[in-house]
Amino acid sequence: MVVRSSSPEETRRLAGRLGRLVVACDVVLLGGDLGAGKTTFTQGLARALGVKEPVTSPTFTLMRSYHGTGGLQLLHADVYRLEYLQEIMDLGLPELLEEGAAAVVEWGDRAAPALLADYLEIRIEFGEEDDERILHVRPVGARWDARKEQLAQALAVQDSTWIAQAQP
């Protein structure tokens, strides 16, 4: 599925729609160039989960933990600076996921081999306009595959500035 956003706030709202589908043990892997909007996306997702505190990039801290309403722990990791799979394992993400946390991982393609086989992959690209972003959304594994219809509904937004389309 592909969605087009024309502003950071629209990206946050879209993430919020997808965030309503996130439950314990879920993983969202974010990819895209520097400055494409991975942290902006995470801010919207966290807001949807009831996180009240500011969500900032964990580039230098590697991982931040937030608590939403209902007690769900949201882990926000950025593995850009990590070079080896073992460094990702050392963050403890797999164990925290097994304990019921949900995770958003920036530069997620690097972390995928260290995590569960089920994740929602979102690749964010720059569009033609300054604030335009194109989000490619792909469910991977049985957990997310079972929510394909819900994902499609979340992406079929009412705001006419977003365009959602299914891809084969």
Q: Say yes or no: domain 2-165 is CATH 3.30.470.10.
A: no
Who's near 19: CB < 8 A, 6+ residues apart?
Answer: 44, 45, 46, 47, 48, 49
Residue 48 has pLDDT above 50, yes or no: yes
Q: What is the residue-averaged pLDDT of the chain?
A: 89
Residue-wise pLDDT tens digits, 108-145: 888 888 887 899 999 999 999 999 999 999 999 999 99
Q: Exposure of 105 by Cβ count < 10 A (0-12 exposed, 13-18 middle, 19+ buried)?
A: buried
Domain residue spans in the chain?
2-165
106: nearest Cα among 127, 117, 121: 121
- Residue 167 confidence class, pLDDT cut points 50, 70, 90: very low
**95-106 average pLDDT score:** 93
H helix count then E strand count, the chain: 6, 8
Mean pLDDT throughout 18-40? 95
Percent over 70 (pLDDT), the chain: 93
Q: Give the separation between CA 136 and CA 46, rounded to whole angstroms.
A: 19
